[in-house]
């Protein structure tokens, strides 16, 4: 009879925030969610697509789970072997051979679990921690974003946050001119994203053109 084994594996978080990786091939960007606010379904804060929690694992988290599962299976097998040997040879057993000589066998049970050397997942550092004004969830993102990953909420406060992020990046940059060039690009992208979401028509517009945006 086949026996199904089930193991529960907990993934350590970094300062109470769990890393998530967008499963959209055109995005694939990294963010973090406060561990108490994790949900079965979450939005990518950058592209806004909704995914199940099992679609947002990072490569390092998947590596950790696979290695921990293999470790659990190996330890289970060792415990089963220990149990069989203990039952068979737990007490001294005298055995007689054909030459009328006796010898005894004794098995001493011991802890056979291997010490774990599996490296815990490495979570990336991100530059901004946000609390959603709608659902009060906490999350962390890289640079500009457009949605709350927990409730999908999108409002003007997000764009205020994006503007603050852009200003901060310019202030701490060693090369101010280079930082400003990136800032202009981020501002245009943020403005275009905002206009697309406010566009209630079925037509597509190039909102980088200010006359059209007006």
pLDDT in tens, 38-97: 999 999 998 889 999 999 999 999 999 989 888 888 888 888 888 887 777 665 555 555
The interaxial angle of helices 156-172 and 176-198, nearest 10 deg, is: 170
pLDDT at position 54 is: 92
Q: Say how many C-beta atoms besides its own lie within 10 A of residue 152's C-beta.
A: 19
Q: Say how many C-beta atoms besides its own lie within 10 A of residue 96's C-beta.
A: 9
pLDDT at position 111 is: 62
pLDDT at position 17 is: 93
Measured at the CA of 94, the angle between CA 97 and CA 79, to 5 degrees, comes to: 115
Mean per-residue pLDDT for 175-186? 76
Contact status, residue 123 vs residue 14, Cβ threshold 8 Å? yes
Q: What are phi and psi of 133, to 5 degrees?
A: -75, -15
pLDDT at position 61 is: 93
pLDDT at position 41 is: 96
Q: Residue 100's pLDDT band (boundaries 50, 70, 90)?
A: low
Is pTM, for the whole model, over 0.85?
Answer: no
Q: In DSSP terms, which residues pair with 105 in a beta bridge?
A: 93
Model confidence over 9-43: pLDDT tens digits? 888 777 889 999 999 998 999 999 999 999 999 99
Buried b (16+ CB within 10 A) or exposed e, 37-58: bbeeebbbbbbbbebeeeebbb
Q: Residue 213's pLDDT band (boundaries 50, 70, 90)?
A: confident
In order of 14, 19, 40, 57, 125, the CA distances from 119 in angstroms are 14, 16, 26, 16, 18
114 versus 59: the higher-pLDDT residue is 59
Model confidence over 188-206: pLDDT tens digits? 777 777 777 777 787 878 8
User: Alpha helices of the chain — where are they, by DSSP H?
Assistant: 59-89, 156-172, 176-198, 210-213
Q: Taking 70 as the threshold, does the pLDDT of residue 163 lie above it? A: yes
Q: Taking 80 as the threshold, does the pLDDT of residue 114 lie above it? A: no
48: left (phi > 0), else alpha (psi -120 to 50), else beta? left
Contact status, residue 17 vs residue 141, Cβ threshold 8 Å? no
């Amino acid at each position: 009879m086949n026996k199904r084994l089930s193991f529960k594996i907990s993934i350590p978080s970094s300062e109470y925030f769990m890393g998530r990786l967008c499963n959209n091939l055109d995005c694939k960007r990294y963010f973090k969610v406060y561990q108490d606010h994790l949900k079965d379904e979450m939005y990518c804060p950058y592209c806004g697509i909704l995914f199940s929690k099992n679609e947002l694992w990072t490569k390092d988290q998947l590596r950790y789970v696979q290695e921990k599962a293999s470790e659990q299976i190996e330890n289970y097998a060792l415990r089963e072997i220990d149990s069989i040997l203990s039952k068979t040879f737990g007490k001294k057993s005298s055995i007689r051979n054909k030459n009328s000589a006796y010898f005894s066998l004794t098995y001493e049970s011991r802890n056979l679990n291997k010490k774990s050397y599996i490296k815990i997942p490495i979570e990336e550092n991100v530059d901004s921690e946000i609390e959603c004004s709608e659902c009060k969830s906490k999350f962390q993102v890289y640079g500009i974003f457009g949605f709350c990953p927990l409730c999908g909420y999108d409002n003007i406060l997000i764009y205020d946050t994006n503007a603050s992020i852009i200003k901060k990046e310019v202030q701490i940059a060693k090369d101010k001119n280079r930082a400003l060039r990136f800032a202009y690009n981020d501002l245009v992208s943020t403005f275009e994203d905002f206009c697309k979401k406010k566009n209630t028509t079925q037509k597509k517009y190039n909102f980088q053109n200010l006359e059209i945006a007006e």
